[in-house]
Structure formats: structure tokens, C-alpha cells
Structure 1
Amino acid sequence: MRKVLLAALLGSAAAFTVGGASANDDLVKMSQNPKDWVMPAGDYANTRYSKLKQITAANVGKLQVAWTFSTGVLRGHEGGPLIIGDMMYVHTPFPNKVYAIDLSHDNKIVWKYEPRQDPNVIPVMCCDTVNRGLAYGNGKIFLHQADDTLVALDAKTGKLDWSAKNGDPSKGQTGTSAPLVVKDKVLVGTSGGEFGVQCSMTAYDINSGKQVWKAFSEGPDKEIMVDPEKTTVLGKPVGKDSSLKTWQGDQWKIGGGCTWGWVAYDPELDLVYYGSGNPSTWNPKQRPGDNKWSMTIFARNPNTGMAKWVYQMTPHDEWDYDGVNEMILSDETINGKARKLLTHFDRNGLAYTLDRSDGELLVAEKYDPKVNWTTGVDMNKSSPTYGRPKVVDQYSTEHGGEDHNTKGICPAALGSKDEQPAAYSPDTQLFYVPTNHVCMDYEPFKVSYTAGQPYVGATLSMYPPPGDSNMGNFIAWDAKKGKIVWSDPEQFSVWSGALATAGGVVFYGTLEGYLKAVDAKTGKQLYKFKTPSGIIGNVTTYEHNGKQYVAVLSGVGGWAGIGLAAGLTDPHAGLGAVGGYAALSNYTELGGTLTVFALPSAN
């Protein structure tokens, strides 16, 4: 306890010495070495920024393929590899293979892990069999398997150290998220909102796999781990039974609020940040109330799991605007005051900037001009609706009632951005955001709950906004002003994670399969190369033997590419995505390849 208090006083990542302290200290130091990529987003702040600058805006056009690696799996490849010293760790979608590759010995496979999983888990994975990546800590590689099992593998041998059952696939609980190691704990969420799962974030002991705490998104105060007097929302206590009061009867028990997105951590404040997803069912008539705390940003103490503050972005969600997208942490001056900021690009089409110390809402603006379901967020602190979005009745899916098809809603259910993570550059103080430029028709219908069966209750169609042919944009965003600085249109949604570098170059991938490099200041395209399959993976960079490399997984799939990945043809299948992205098959096919790029060696 004395050491914990000392850490709080010093406000330094290096001061944390509880439990597996040395493991965390090592991880913090490793994350500060730009030659490696030791966390899913590169660092605890989720910036996806690299200080490497051998590749610049002046020479990136000379990039060449250095080497490739086939994963042997043909489904959607999200996430990206970890690079730790001479070793690279590559993961796949189901069956969730993990490869350890020696970069110093001709990229030799040192070990391979392939778990034995019941294939019956595949039908209960709502939007492809994806996995968003691995985590590292204390000499272990952590994998969140599709069957919602968290496993710890010896980083040197691949031997299973421990495993923990995080949920039950027979009830719809699955694993797609990347874990995060924080001090002596491994944090992992769960998927299953489309199956009526009561979702949670769970912390496991890094050495034993023993559950330390589990915090649900909705339910009694004890289960959601809030203090009615100390946990705040927009500066005020949440109050007793803050979640229960917003659900009808026991609906919260099948309420969704899943946590399959990304986790960030501020060592100085000792808080972790993540978002919860949509409430179940997609038919809003069947769950009156705000449905707290689905669609919410949580700030929690990683030691105890207790929430310090919460903020619900889309109360009583009527459109499946999950709030799981990444929280990006930065320290900047806004309105003349130095702030510890949290920036979040929500599925609902609004970009939020908050003070991450207390959850004060500073900016909330549309990051796609076509967003029409809301006119914006009430920013008047004296208003009873402060912090809530102002819903346009025409685009309310509840307004017309069940079996009424509400048309022309922007964005579509997959949001103005899904889980594909943005990047932030401290050099430009801009955020680089892969976006969807897609609208939808949404028809809710009554649905009954059966454990392990789909609990959706809506039929969707998706298409580009009226007057536009492009379904995506890659944008640069000023979070302090809430404005787009530049925007590059793309034929399809940009479903890959971005990478910003000190070389003034930003990278991203396209659904057709192109790796693209653009100028960080202007958005001008500097380079592109078509990989073997559509890219929904996250671009990564590292340095080995004095040379900078850029790596990306290609393998079309995910929600946008589910038609190709699963062989679906009904335009309403894939929760509406199959019809919207039908033309994608004209440009790419299934694959599973890691492509690594570098500048040519000097003669």
C-alpha cells in the first residue's frame, strides 16, 4: 500500500511497483523504444504514433516489399503484430493461431500456437471471426481467443502458462478484443451484444490468471462497480441505482453494453479508459429508458475496478452506435488551459474531447458532415439535457414504431468509424481518422430472447450518402476546434487502423487492399501498393538492424467485408453490410498475409 501511495504522489509510470511491478516498469520502458511495438496501439495512450523517421515524406515513394508471410487463414485479419527485440508475434482470426517469428534468422518460425476451439463458436461471432491482437507483459504473450478464453503463452517457447475462461460461447459470449497489460493485471473485454449478453471488463492477475475484478456495463451498482456518491457523470454524482433506473424490469440482464474495443491507460492518473457498446436488442421499443451504462466511456482504477467517472454518448441507442472505439490520450492546451485530454471518435458520428481527469466534456462535433440523426450535443451546462445529443425525429428508429422502415439515416449502424483505430501525431497535433461514409434504412421488429441465439430485432440496408459515390474518407481532425483539416475520399470504407510517424508520413490501408502513405500536413498521397487482399488490419512500424519497416496484415473481412469472408449474398445479411459492400468482390478476394515494407538498401 505504501508503494501505491508513493506512485500516486510521484505521478510517474516508473513509480508503480505493486504486484508484478517490475513487469510493468519494463513494459513502460519498452513502449518508449520506437524500434519495438510492444502494445496493441504502440503505447498506453493509444496514439499509434512512432518516433521513427527514417521513412519520410520525401522518400516514402521509394518503399518496396521487404518480405511477406502467409498466415494460413482466410478470414478477416484485424489488428497487427507485436515486435519485441528480434521477435515478431503475429496473430490470426479463428482459429486464433499465434506465430513467433525470428527477425534475425530469415524470419524463421520459432514457435506456433493453435488452440483447440469448438467451431460452434463461429456462428455466434456477429461480424466475422476477427481478432484485434496480442498483448505482452512479464515474458508472456496474451491472446483473447474466439471462445472467450484468455491465455498466457511463454514468449520464448509458446508454451501455455495459464488460461482463464472469460465467458460462455453457448450464451453468445465471444472474444475478439486485444488485451492490455496494466501493472500486474491483464484487462480484457467481451463480445456478444447481438446475443443479449450482459457485458463486462475483467482484470486477471498476470502471473496466475486469477480473476481480480469484473465490472459489468449495466446492472446494480456493485456489479457495475460505481460508487453512487464518488463516481461522477459530467461533474455530478451518478447516484444510487444509476443503471437499474434506466432499464425496464430485468432487461439489464440481457442488456449488451459489450467491451470489445480498445483500452487506454494513464499511468500518472492511474486510470484505464474504454467504451461500452450497444444495448440489446436493436429494437428500441423493447427497452425503454436511457439503458445506462451502455454506449459509455468508463474511467476506472485498474487496481480496484471502481469507476471514477462515466459519460454516456448515445442514451437509449436506436441505431446500434456502439461506443467501443479507442480513447486517445494527449496533453494539450485548449482554450488557454493545459489539459489532460481524451479524444474519442464515436460510431454515432460525433468526435468527443474530454478532460480525462474528471470527464468534463469540452468538444463534441460531427466528423462527417453527412451525419443527420442529430443536430449535435447540448453543450449548455445549465441545461437539463446537457451532454445529450439532440435527436432529429425524422431519423429516430423508435419514432415510427416497430415494423416501420426509417430511411436515410446517416451514419449507418457501422458508424462514421468502427473499431479501426485512429492515430495522433504530437508533431501536428492532429488526429488521423479512418472513416465510413455510409447511410442506412433501419426497420426494427419484435424479437424474443433465447440464450445463445441472435437477439437483434432489426433489418438494415446500407449505401453511400445521397449525392456521394464514396463510402469512406481518411481525414485529419483538429480535436481542440472540432474541425476537419483535410479529407481524402475512398471508394469503400477505410477499415484499417492508421499509423502516424515522426517522418511526417501517415499510413492506412483500404478495403481493396492498398497500403497508402499520405503527407501528415496536407493529406497528399505519397505512395500506394496493392497487397494480396483487402486491408482491415492496423499499420505498424518498427526498426531492425538499423532499418525502419512498415508492416500490415491484409485479409478482407470484418463487418464491412463479411459478405466475402463468409460467402453471404443476401443484401440484408451481415446486419445489412452484404448489400452495401457487394461491389467489393470486384476488387479483392480472401487472403491472410503479412506484408512488410522498407526503403531499398543503398548501393
Structure 2
Amino acid sequence: MKSGDLFRKVLLASTISLVLGSAPLMAAVTDQDIANDATTPNDVVSYGLGLQGQRFSPLDKLNTETVKNLVPAFVLSYGDEKQRGQEAQPLVHNGKIFVTASYSRVFTVDAKTGEELWQYDHRLPDGILPCCDVVNRGGALYDNLFIFSTLDAQLVALDQDTGKVVWKEKMEDYKAGYSNTAAPIVVNGKVITGVSGGEFGIVGKVEARDAKTGKLVWMRPTVEGHMGTLDGKDNGITGETNKSWPGDLWKTGGAATWLGGTYDAETNTLFFGTGNPAPWNSHLRPGDNLYSSSVLAINPDDGKIKWHYQWTPHDGWDFDGVNEFVSFDLKQTDGKVIKAGGHADRNGFFYVLDRTNGQLISATPFVNKITWAKGIDLKTGRPEYDDANRPGAPSGADKGQSVFSAPSFLGGKNWMPMAYNPNTDL
């Protein structure tokens, strides 16, 4: 360890051998490498172990019988408790581990020894407004770049070998409440990510940039009424202005894309979840408040929305809708296979949709108690609200009356990712 480092390394010996084993040195990360990530256990080059987000590994050496044999190989610390939380998924390539940490930092270490190779500390300005901690959930590898987002709403590309900045682009103005904590993904040469800041009156969006240069290709707002762009030109308004928002509230409607997205190559579709609408108090904004608390199916070539499904219309509980949408093939009893996607929402329901058109297939409670809704109507796809358990106007006639909400705003499932096993369909 280098003298004076606050940084000590962490991984498990058996995990290192499983991932690195006899893997040869590899060249720059290509689109094909990313497409094959779920089936190539010698490295991990994308968030979610494959762009579909299934987080399934074909490795079989680590199982219920051998897991007891895991022992620490080295330990990695990102600093003391002042450095706050750690929520990142590491990436592994060319014998290196790349991992982000709190306060927009990046560490790269030798995957076998844990020796620090380089560290990048993004210079954060005063006045950043991170909503819910100063964490980062990971980066993306492409070519010889490591790309990640920062708390002052920038996207930064570093040289994998040296940690030097290759390009850096401003996504939005941090002074207006924007930040970013999500791990970007790379699809066909474009790095794609969203923004954070839904508690501060921002407008959510998804944007795609040339992964090698950082140049903006397209941008798609996630609140109706806002104009998208493609190659610097207008590319159509998202939805219809004021269709589901009163007055001017659509101008600061939230719907932040703070957890990032997934991608399905079979349908050539991005799936991005959106956060809660703003302001938080639902009595101030009657209507469905599109496209908050939803999943958006987006064409990665031009940023156009193919379809959407809203998990919690007129969200009054801060359930968001950002949890990952995982693509999988749903096998029916009659032998038919549906191209489906699964989503465990913070509102307590597990949804299965047809990922080609957004049609609801099922919505099943996965928590013991749900009070905000009596169920989901499978014909309309809409919740059957229990209005007595919606937080009301603080100045209304029911002021002082308790409202019991389950799940809580932290959700039946928070941001922590789920996984899908294609061998067992679980």
C-alpha cells in the first residue's frame, strides 16, 4: 500500500479467481464486449452484468456448497465515516478493478493484489444539492475510457490506464438543483444516463452522448411539455403540454432519472424509470403528472419514447418509479414465450409488462401490507386507490388526522438491484 493512503482494498479471493482465473489481457472495450457481458465471466464491463440488468453469472464454481470457502484476499476502504455511503458496482477489465465512491471519486486497483493504480477526485464546487446522500453507483467502460457522473451534474471520461481526464461535459446546472449519482450505460457507441434532483424542482431527462467524445447526440425530457433534441435540433415535445399537469407545474415537474437504465437488444429499447413528481404534496398538482413514477421505453437511436407505463399515477407517497426494469422471456403454460420485463416498485407491487408495447401482464403484491391501493386493475393498468390513505392538504379540513402509509417512502424495494436467473426463471 502506498504510504499515506486512506484507501485499503476489498474483494474476495475466490471471486478474484472466478473472474480473472486464466483470463488473457484484453484490448479496449467494444460494443460487442458489452453485448456479451452476461456470458463472459472473465470480466465485468457493464452495470448490471449485461445491459438487460439480469445480474446473472454463468459461473458455477461459487454455489451454495462452496460459498463457505470464501475468504478475504484484500480489503478496500474509501476513507473514514466522513466519506458517507458506498453504493457502487465495480467493473473489472484488463486485470483492473474500477469502482466509484462517494463525493465523485474513482479508484482503480490491481485485481489480484489490490495495489492502487490510480485515483481520481473530482473537484466539487460549493453549493451542490445532492438530495439523498453523496454516493455514486458506478461507471461505464468503453474503448479505453471509464465514464462516470458527478454530484455537480457532469459526465467525465477518464483514461483507464492513467486516470487522466479525456473529456468532461456539463449535463445541467448544479445551482438549479441538478446532480447525478447513476451509473451510465453504453449502447452502440453512445453513453446514456439521466439526472438526479427531483426534490428541487428540476426536470428529469435521459441523454445520449458519443462515448468517445462526449458530444451530445440526443436528449429526452421525462416531463410532458418539454422539447427533446437530436443532433442539436428540436426532436418533438414529450407528451402533451398540460395534459396531466395543472398550470405551470410541468415546468418544474421532477421525474428525475436518478437510477439509470437498462437496454434490450432484441427490441432495441432503452428502459428508464422516473422519480416522483414535484412538488411532493399531491394536492397541489391534480392529474397523473406524466411521466413521473413511470418506466419509459426509449429508442436509443433518436431518443423518441416508444411507450410508457406509469406505476403510480399522481404519486403522493414519494414512491418514485426508478427501480430497474429487467428484460426476460416469460414462458407460458401453452408454450408461448412473451418478451417481458419485470419491475419491483417501491409501491409494493411486482409488475410484469410486455416489453414490446408496455401492456400490463401482472401486478402482484410482494410486501405484507399495502395501504395506498387496494390492488392494480389488470384491464386498465391503474391502481385502485384507497383515498383515505393519501396524504392530504396540510391546511385542509382533515388537518391533524393521521395517515398510515405502507410501504413507506423508502419502499417495498428501494434502489438495491434485483436479479433474474434464466436457468430457473426466478
TM-score, normalising length from structure 2? 0.87
User: Aligned equivalents of 2:38 and 2:337: distance in 1?
Assistant: 25
CA deviation vs aligned residue, 1:458-507 (integer Å, no higher than 9, x gap): xxxxxxxxxxxxxxxxxxxxxxxxxxxxxxxxxxxxxxxxxxxxxxxxxx
Cα deviation for residue 23 of structure 1 reads 2.8
Partner residue in 1 for 2:141: 136
Partner residue in 1 for 2:209: 204
3-state SS, counterpart of residue 36 of structure 2: helix
User: Aligned equivalents of 2:35 and 2:401: distance in 1?
Assistant: 50
User: Aligned equivalents of 1:375 and 1:222: distance in 2?
Assistant: 36
Partner residue in 2 for 1:172: 177
3-state SS, counterpart of residue 131 of structure 2: coil
Spell out the pairing of 1:248-259 with structure 2 (5 A cutoff): 248-259=246-257
CA deviation vs aligned residue, 1:150-187 (integer Å, no higher than 9, x gap): 00111111111111101111111011111111111111
1:390 pairs with one of 356, 371, 384: 384
Alignment partner of 1:77 is 2:71: no
- One-letter amino acid of the structure 2 residue matched with residue 68 of structure 1: V
2:413 pairs with one of 417, 425, 428: 417
2:31 pairs with one of 24, 33, 36: 24
Cα deviation for residue 243 of structure 1 reads 5.2
- One-letter amino acid of the structure 1 residue matched with residue 209 of structure 2: Y
Partner residue in 2 for 1:276: 274
Spell out the pairing of 1:347-362 with structure 2 (5 A cutoff): 347-362=346-361
Change (3 A) 1:241 1:60: closer
For the 8 Å contact 2:45–2:93, the answer to whether it is kept is: yes
Change (3 A) 1:99 1:240: closer
Cα deviation for residue 322 of structure 1 reads 0.3
Q: What 5-or-longer segments of structure 2 have no aligned partner?
A: 1-27, 231-235
Cα deviation for residue 406 of structure 1 reads 3.7
For the 8 Å contact 2:271–2:295, the answer to whether it is kept is: yes
Moved more, 255-264 or 393-402: 393-402
User: Aligned equivalents of 1:240 and 1:181: distance in 2?
Assistant: 23
For the 8 Å contact 2:37–2:49, the answer to whether it is kept is: no
Partner residue in 2 for 1:467: none
For the 8 Å contact 1:295–1:322, the answer to whether it is kept is: yes
User: Aligned equivalents of 1:283 and 1:168: distance in 2?
Assistant: 25
Cα deviation for residue 58 of structure 1 reads 1.4
- One-letter amino acid of the structure 1 residue matched with residue 306 of structure 2: K
Cα deviation for residue 59 of structure 1 reads 2.1
2:97 pairs with one of 88, 92, 106: 88
User: Aligned equivalents of 2:98 and 2:145: distance in 1?
Assistant: 11
- One-letter amino acid of the structure 2 residue matched with residue 300 of structure 1: I
Partner residue in 1 for 2:342: 343
User: Aligned equivalents of 2:45 and 2:303: distance in 1?
Assistant: 24
3-state SS, counterpart of residue 120 of structure 1: coil
2:40 pairs with one of 14, 33, 40: 33
User: Aligned equivalents of 2:209 and 2:286: distance in 1?
Assistant: 34
3-state SS, counterpart of residue 420 of structure 2: strand
Q: What 5-or-longer segments of structure 1 have no aligned partner?
A: 1-20, 226-230, 232-238, 381-385, 431-603
Identity fraction in percent: 37
Cα deviation for residue 344 of structure 1 reads 0.4
CA deviation vs aligned residue, 1:118-146 (integer Å, no higher than 9, x gap): 1421xx21111111111111221011011
For the 8 Å contact 1:400–1:406, the answer to whether it is kept is: no
TM-score, normalising length from structure 1? 0.62
Change (3 A) 1:102 1:417: same
For the 8 Å contact 1:396–1:406, the answer to whether it is kept is: no
Partner residue in 2 for 1:51: 58
Spell out the pairing of 1:317-332 with structure 2 (5 A cutoff): 317-332=315-330
- One-letter amino acid of the structure 2 residue matched with residue 23 of structure 1: T
CA deviation vs aligned residue, 1:87-120 (integer Å, no higher than 9, x gap): 10121011x211111124x222111111111142
- One-letter amino acid of the structure 1 residue matched with residue 53 of structure 2: N
Alignment partner of 1:194 is 2:199: yes
The number of aligned residues is 389
Partner residue in 1 for 2:159: 154
Spell out the pairing of 1:91-106 with structure 2 (5 A cutoff): 91-94=100-103, 96-104=104-112, 106=113
Cα deviation for residue 72 of structure 1 reads 2.0
3-state SS, counterpart of residue 213 of structure 2: coil
Alignment partner of 1:42 is 2:42: no
Cα deviation for residue 305 of structure 1 reads 0.3
User: Aligned equivalents of 2:333 and 2:302: distance in 1?
Assistant: 34
User: Aligned equivalents of 1:362 and 1:39: distance in 2?
Assistant: 29
CA deviation vs aligned residue, 1:248-283 (integer Å, no higher than 9, x gap): 121111110000113111112111101111000111
Cα deviation for residue 55 of structure 1 reads 1.5
User: Aligned equivalents of 2:238 and 2:348: distance in 1?
Assistant: 31
User: Aligned equivalents of 2:387 and 2:171: distance in 1?
Assistant: 40
Partner residue in 1 for 2:11: none
User: Aligned equivalents of 1:70 and 1:224: distance in 2?
Assistant: 42
Partner residue in 2 for 1:61: 68
Cα deviation for residue 405 of structure 1 reads 4.7
Partner residue in 1 for 2:22: none
For the 8 Å contact 2:37–2:50, the answer to whether it is kept is: no
Partner residue in 2 for 1:215: 220
Spell out the pairing of 1:487-566 with structure 2 (5 A cutoff): none
- One-letter amino acid of the structure 2 residue matched with residue 92 of structure 1: A
For the 8 Å contact 1:40–1:79, the answer to whether it is kept is: no
User: Aligned equivalents of 2:54 and 2:29: distance in 1?
Assistant: 24
User: Aligned equivalents of 1:379 and 1:273: distance in 2?
Assistant: 21
User: Aligned equivalents of 1:370 and 1:204: distance in 2?
Assistant: 42
Cα deviation for residue 36 of structure 1 reads 1.4
Cα deviation for residue 224 of structure 1 reads 9.2
